A and B are shown apart, each in its own frame.
Chain A
Amino acid sequence: MDYNVPISFAGLDLKNPVMIASGILGLSQNIFDRLIKIGAGAIVSKSISNRPRIGYRNPTVVPLENQNWLNAVGLANPGADVFSEEISNNKVPLMVSIVGSSTEEFRTIVQKFENSNIVGFELNLSCPHVEKMGMEIGDDPNLVGKIVKSIKDLSSKPLIVKVGLGKSDILQIAKVAEEAGADGITAINTLRAMKIDITNKCPVLENKIGGLSGAAIRPIGVRCVYELYKVLKVPIIGCGGILTISDMLEYIMAGASAVQVGSYIAQNGMDSIGKLVNNLQHYLKTEGYSNLEEIVGIAHR
């Protein structure tokens, strides 16, 4: 299998548009190599902070009914110094997701990866369950603009900004990011949610509140991508509840140039990633399209 559905966007040339979402398998170079070998178009690392974080105690991931998942890992990651060492021999299309609590912190992290062989950065402005990081930054349009601009001033690598559904309008935040220089937008992140065990009368997640992913958030993600496509000039990566080829096509037809998957791997295992790409190849061929761009945003016509 060649897993070949070439795409170009945000200054990136990728073998196919199926990316591994941040937080999923984003830790080890050996696993990155395996994921690319078995079909992934690119990988987004776990969100990397300046210092190592051990994250929350388990349970950090709770499978729910109807192909949904709840997680609060707490941005566990090895920190920028150790992770840059981990990927020092990287040869695969890897995007480093970064998370921080101030402009200065983001700049420090970006500098540590400036000489790494990576295809770009994804700015996590939408993690819904860690204080003073992620969503708390993503909810402040002024701060988002400042952070994006300061990273763009520092690095020539493509910068994708991952936006979610917080207190601010997702369209406004994405627009601010674009105006500040973002090369693309990923939408959406998980949604704040929780599970209570009624037998023990307590929340199941150690952090009590986490982020919902899976089938339930897909229609919300598709709507966001559809609306973002209308107002943005930069390309969009669709993310949230992609479990089948049809789900992926929905995002692309809404306006996504690429997609990220997480729940798909929870559902089918990492070795199934190539099947999703093969199914996309098959769809384009049987529908008579010569490249993916022909259907990006087609639902708007």
Chain B
Amino acid sequence: MPIDKNLMRVVSITGVKTETKTVKTMTFKDQLSDKALPGQFLMVWIPRKEEIPLSAMVSNLSGHAAITIRKNGLASTSLFNKKVGDKIGIRGPYGNSFSIKKSNKNVLLMGGGTGLVPLVRLLANMKEFDLNFTIIIGARTSSEIFFLDIVSDLLKGKTYNLLISTEDGTKGTKGYPTDILCDLITRNYVINFIYTCGPELMMKKAYDLALANKIPIEVSIERYMKCGIGLCSSCSINDKLVCVDGTVFNSFQISSLSEFGKCYRDKAGILTKY
């Protein structure tokens, strides 16, 4: 009988990799999460603390999955402090995924912070195709840049263009990842498709640029989630629920989401402006 993805599986953490001072990747054994599509998320339970949605990260080990966490609030900090052997609960994977079309030769992936996680999984799923990859990684400062090793590992033997932006200019171009995107478009750099995940205001800028230049785009939207299964409405954006209708939305869908880049619902469900 197939495993019901809704039922929580309690798993042991089998590996912890420090990405930066505030970011870690944790690996665990779980057949269902191993099969997660790029863009899908897991509901991760940290016993006695909280449950949070996290994008499925790649893992090198078969039958294993990973999550990448930035220490921030109660849940993420307690997860960040977990060690090999500690036990967490997983349900999912939930949500839809990025679409992959081999006909889009020149793909651009743009991630800000931990928004890179689903894009790395997408890269892992696309690496076998004969595509030209451009990757834009954005961070506040050089010490907060991570996944460079994973990206170069995934694209070993391929030609690709990796561009970095930092807000303080300590590495790569000074500014935001969207500044790089804007520059590429201005210089008539060939882009057939854009995938992006990260802060919503960054993705809104990317969407506006894509729309103005007729480049198809898919964005992975993040919202406050309680249930993860389409019951509670806390992740609603206009008439869509990010947990079941998303997290990935394409250009056409975003065109009808007037709340995208403008407002979100807080923990009480109050529509709040960014």
Contacts and interface: CB of A to CB of B under 8 A. Distances in A.
Interface of A: 23-28, 30-31, 33-34, 46, 52-55, 57-65, 71, 73, 76-79, 82, 86, 197, 199-200, 202, 204, 206, 262, 265-266, 269-270
B229 interface: yes
B6 A52 contact: no
Interface in B234-252: 234, 236, 238-239, 241, 244
A65 B270 CA distance: 33
The 10 closest A-B pairs by CB, nearest first: A63-B6, A27-B233, A58-B51, A200-B47, A54-B267, A30-B239, A61-B227, A59-B51, A52-B268, A34-B239
Given A27-B265, A199-B10, A270-B230, A52 B270 contact: yes
B268 A78 contact: yes
26 contacts: A25-B241, A27-B233, A27-B236, A28-B233, A30-B239, A53-B268, A58-B43, A58-B51, A58-B52, A59-B51, A60-B232, A61-B226, A61-B229, A63-B4, A63-B8, A63-B91, A64-B7, A71-B227, A76-B268, A76-B269, A197-B89, A200-B10, A204-B8, A206-B50, A265-B230, A270-B244
Contacts of B7: 63-65
B156 interface: no
Given A65-B7, A265-B230, A46 B239 contact: no
Interface of B is mostly: loop
A216 to B, nearest CB: 15
B87 interface: yes
A26 B227 contact: no
Interface string B254-274: 000000000001111111000
Contact of A30 (B10, B236, B266): B236
Nearest to B227: A61
B268 A28 contact: no
B268 A59 contact: no
A77 B269 CA distance: 6
Contacts of B244: 269-270
Q: How large is the interface on B (under 10, 10 to 19, 20 to 34, 35 or more residues)?
A: 35 or more
Nearest to A54: B267
Nearest to A65: B7
Contacts of A269: 230, 244
A264 to B, nearest CB: 11
A40 to B, nearest CB: 13
B229 to A, nearest CB: 6
A204 B87 contact: no
Nearest to A62: B8
Q: Which residue, of A53, A204, A265, has the highest number of chain B Cβ atoms within 10 A? A: A204
A197 B231 contact: no
Contacts of B271: 86
Given A78-B270, A197-B10, A73 B239 contact: no
A71 B6 CA distance: 14
B162 to A, nearest CB: 36
A213 B260 CA distance: 33
